[in-house]
Amino acid sequence: MFKSDLVGGGFPVQTTIQGKIHRGSIGCLVTNGETVFALSNRHVVGAAGREIFAGFKNTDRRLGVSDALQLGKRAFSEVYPGWPGSRVVANLDAGLIRVDDVKGWTAQVYGVGQVGDVVDLNVGTFRLDIIDQPLIAFGATSGLMKGKILGLFYRYKTVGGLEYVSDFVIGPRDGDTPLNNYPGDSGTVWFLDDPDAKKNAGGARILSPVALEWGGQELFGSGGKVPMQVALGICMATLCRELDVELIGDWNAGHTEYWGEWGHVKIGAYATDLIDAKLPKLATMMEANSDNIGLDDKLLADLKPHQRGTFSPLADVADLVWRFTRHTDESNHFADMDKPGSDGKTLLDLCAESTRNVDPKVWNDYYQGIGEDRRGALPFRVWQIFDEMVEYAAANKKLEFVCAAGIVAHYIGDACQPLHISQFHHGLDPSDKAHAKVHSVYETTMIGRHGKDLIKMIPDARTSDVAEIAPGGTPTGRDAAIAVVALMQRTVKRLPPMTIVNLFNSHMGSGQVETLWSKLKDATAACMQDGAKTLARVWEAAWRAGAGEDRGQGGKFDQDSLSKLYNDPSFLPAYPLQQLTLDADDHIVPIGGSGGARRRNATTARRARPQAAKKAVKKGAKKAARNTARKPLKKAVARKRPAAAAPVRRAAASKKTATKRGAAKKRSVAKTRKASRKR
């Protein structure tokens, strides 16, 4: 899934060849003077006419088709005339994607900057002093990569008397930092990493492309050393000459290097300053972890793109990490709240009629009525995570609480974006390519271009305070989901999606972005502030429900522990709405399951059904005592029950002692009784 609707170099693409999905990277935009293409490798785009897709907001979108103009292996003497090499073959693995609609593209390369003039290397300008030149790239799989040129015209294989060479071999800059180049990076463009390069209006550097990556190898040294990973590249100047195309450097440019990435981390970090002073232990712990959840404004203004395998701010884990590893989480990022159902009522209408309609069954019935399979489940993801946070607070698991609290910031951040919760995400008519870019232009281009100004506006926005969730009582996951739906209702009222769409449609062409900014900036900042306030109330409610203030003070957690946790598949598992239901205690669980990793303790369960819980515990203890006299005894490992269940255990133990069995029999009975206490 793309994080942004605005596509550029460094983004992933995929196509299907013989039933197998091939993935690669977009290099950059090029043109033959008439048509705009996206450059990648031939082995990525496939045969001419093959459709190229990418994921956008829970759906696949076609980017274009593979063009007939492609390059493969060529005689070295033809590519570099005048140089020896009659039995040498040059690999020019290059393919073009004929772009469907250029309005959704930018000439910038994500995480790197704007494309400048190509480094003009040919038989007259290739020199050895280019070796060791520092390079930088952003691959669809690996993210940001930094390396240097290790050699020229590297022979990567010999077959049938022919030597196959690659123009460049690119390796790590030093022996301690690996290149981290992975499958899926084919098609990536490598640039000269010039620290003094000029910058565009968004502060991104304008860099010169050197090579197009087509593959990689591992080089083994002597003495059993760890192999060195290298990337193999093709000279960009050679490709431009052979394809007869020119690089595009200024189309939809002017963004920062990281367009579309900072909104969630801003909301997450800002919320840590909004926690009620009545919860000092929570406030202290969350403030200490502010940089783990998001980033402060100083770091945010110079934010670098996330690199695969490195720590992700918790507020962006759902996009930067889980979009690759948890595809079942896709539907949790949106909800089309304003789309009429079979009876003409929208989800906004249903939830306004009764908060009891914030229920997975009601929503599934609504989606079933309109024949919709892509069912937005955003509030229920918050509900599920809230229940887990209560568990963690009650069990004094502060690391888990902070990790879950940071991650839930992402979904609440989605809930305060008007077009994220609307059927008009792609305008009035998604098939109208010119007008379907409204979300991309508003949320990516506009916010990316004016992000530094928006950062300063969010704390100064004037929004009403968000009320405490379930004041005077014990908050539940349902209460948290209702609070998120209320945020969505306020968001579409404050900045109606159709206001954005109509303004976009009436100002097509030059000056559109600046018009959107001047008219919508204040309401946009207010929506984000409201989201941060709601997030803080959700944190507080979970902490109160789990009696977190009754336990010791938590501090700042190391990023290795947090990343290990959010990379654990059993931590906060995600499910599509079709698989969600409510258990007897009003908790979100998968149909036919027990909630994945959640292990609910008796203290939490008794809040919903106290008498039933007590009777069940007592009945289980008596039944176990009877069974031990009839059946062979078995060992079992059971989790400990809370202290409140101790009187039941003591009563059962006293009754069993009264039977006057031997000491050995008593110990065996006790083991069996422990096994029976699992709910």
CA nearest to 255, candidates 303, 201, 319, 219: 201
CA atoms within 13 A on the CB side of 70: 21
Q: Helix axis angle, 497-505 relative to 512-545, nearest 10°?
A: 160
The pair of structure tokens assigned to 471 is 């004041």
Q: How confident is the model at residue 633 (pLDDT cuts 50, 70, 90)?
A: very low
The pair of structure tokens assigned to 170 is 């690119």
Q: Is the pLDDT of residue 135 over 60?
A: yes
Question: Is 181 in contact with 231 (CB distance < 8 Å)?
Answer: yes
Question: Is 498 in contact with 233 (CB distance < 8 Å)?
Answer: no
Region 365-374: mean pLDDT is 90
pLDDT at position 353: 95
Q: Please write the tens of the pLDDT for every residue from 35-54.
A: 999 999 999 999 999 999 87
pLDDT at position 265: 75
CA 260/CA 195 separation, integer angstroms:
24
What type of residue is 152? L
CA nearest to 449, candidates 511, 509, 502, 529: 511
pLDDT at position 255: 54
CA 382/CA 670 separation, integer angstroms:
40
CB neighbours (10 Å) of residue 614? Answer: 16
Question: Is 652 in contact with 620 (CB distance < 8 Å)?
Answer: no
Q: How confident is the model at residue 172 (pLDDT cuts 50, 70, 90)?
A: very high
* 3-state SS record for 155-180: EEEEECCEEEEEEEEEECCECCECCC
pLDDT at position 269: 87
pLDDT at position 221: 60
In three-state secondary structure terms, 598 is coil
pLDDT at position 233: 97
What's domain 7-247's superfamily in CATH?
A: Trypsin-like serine proteases (2.40.10.10)
pLDDT at position 261: 52
pLDDT at position 357: 96
Q: Which residue has the tokens 């000279």?
A: 235
Who contacts 458 (Cβ-Cβ below 8 Å, separation ≥6)? 266, 270, 525, 528, 529, 532
Q: What is the DSSP letter of 552?
A: P
Q: Is the pLDDT of residue 631 over 80?
A: no
Q: Is the pTM value of this prediction over 0.95? A: no
Q: How confident is the model at residue 311 (pLDDT cuts 50, 70, 90)?
A: confident
- Min mean pLDDT across 24-38, 63-77, 184-198, 657-671 is at 657-671
Q: Is the pLDDT of residue 396 over 90?
A: yes
Q: How confident is the model at residue 16 (pLDDT cuts 50, 70, 90)?
A: confident
Q: Is the dihedral of CA 153, 158, 163, 166 positive or negative?
A: negative
pLDDT at position 647: 36
Look over the chain and give the mean of its residue pLDDT values, rounded to a whole number.
82
**DSSP for 537-556?**
HHHHHHHHHTTGGGSPPP-P
Q: Please write the tens of the pLDDT for every residue from 400-446.
A: 999 999 999 999 999 999 998 999 988 888 888 778 888 878 877 78
pLDDT at position 435: 80
Q: How far is CA 237 from CA 123, 157, 172, 667, in A?
A: 11, 24, 23, 81
Q: What is the DSSP letter of 76?
A: H
Q: How confident is the model at residue 463 (pLDDT cuts 50, 70, 90)?
A: very high
CA 674/CA 623 separation, integer angstroms:
12
Alpha helix stretches (DSSP H) within 546-662: 559-566, 602-608, 610-628, 646-657
pLDDT at position 506: 92
Q: How confident is the model at residue 642 (pLDDT cuts 50, 70, 90)?
A: very low
CA 463/CA 454 separation, integer angstroms:
15
- Min mean pLDDT across 11-15, 99-103, 166-170, 616-620 is at 616-620
pLDDT at position 304: 52
pLDDT at position 576: 92
CB neighbours (10 Å) of residue 259? Answer: 27
- Min mean pLDDT across 233-242, 258-267, 586-595, 668-677 is at 668-677
Question: Is 389 in contact with 397 (CB distance < 8 Å)?
Answer: no
Q: Please write the tens of the pLDDT for every residue from 559-617.
A: 999 999 999 999 999 999 999 999 999 999 998 765 544 444 433 333 333 343 344 43
Q: Helix axis angle, 663-676 relative to 610-628, nearest 10°?
A: 140
What type of residue is 53? F
Using CB atoms within 10 Å of the CB of residue 33, give its burial: 0 to 12 exposed, 13 to 18 middle, 19+ buried. Answer: exposed
CA 62/CA 49 separation, integer angstroms:
12
Question: Is 53 in contact with 34 (CB distance < 8 Å)?
Answer: no
Q: What is the DSSP letter of 422?
A: S
Q: How confident is the model at residue 34 (pLDDT cuts 50, 70, 90)?
A: confident
pLDDT at position 237: 96
Q: Is the pLDDT of residue 91 over 60?
A: yes
Q: Please write the tens of the pLDDT for every residue from 480-539.
A: 999 999 999 999 999 999 999 999 999 988 788 899 999 999 999 999 999 999 999 999
Question: Is 480 in contact with 410 (CB distance < 8 Å)?
Answer: no
Q: Please write the tens of the pLDDT for every residue from 201-240.
A: 777 899 999 999 999 887 766 555 667 889 999 999 999 9
- Min mean pLDDT across 60-64, 334-338, 502-506 is at 60-64
Q: How confident is the model at residue 5 (pLDDT cuts 50, 70, 90)?
A: low
Identify the H or E element spanning 414. Answer: helix 398-415
Domain ranges, ordered by start, for the chain: 7-247, 263-434+450-491+525-567, 610-676
pLDDT at position 175: 73
Question: Is 204 in contact with 111 (CB distance < 8 Å)?
Answer: no
- Min mean pLDDT across 259-273, 332-346, 581-595, 630-644 is at 630-644
Region 307-323: mean pLDDT is 79
CB neighbours (10 Å) of residue 640? Answer: 9
Q: How confident is the model at residue 374 (pLDDT cuts 50, 70, 90)?
A: confident
Give the Cα-Cα-Cα angle 17, 21, 25 (nearest 5 degrees): 105
- Min mean pLDDT across 18-32, 311-325, 450-464, 481-495 is at 311-325
Q: Please write the tens of the pLDDT for every residue from 138-166.
A: 988 888 899 999 999 999 999 999 999 99
Q: Please, which residues bridge with residue 248 across strands?
A: none
- Min mean pLDDT across 89-103, 336-350, 598-612 is at 598-612
pLDDT at position 625: 46
The pair of structure tokens assigned to 440 is 């991309």
CA 314/CA 264 separation, integer angstroms:
9
Question: Is 276 in contact with 130 (CB distance < 8 Å)?
Answer: no
The pair of structure tokens assigned to 26 is 């977009």
Widest Cα–Cα separation across the chain: 103
pLDDT at position 11: 86
CA nearest to 573, candidates 593, 543, 550: 593
Across 114-254, where does the E strand assignment appear?
Answer: 114-115, 134-139, 143-159, 162-171, 189-192, 206-207, 209-219, 228-235, 246-247
pLDDT at position 679: 32
Identify the H or E element spanning 230. Answer: strand 228-235
Region 650-663: mean pLDDT is 41
Q: Is the pLDDT of residue 479 over 50?
A: yes
Q: Is the pLDDT of residue 545 over 90?
A: yes
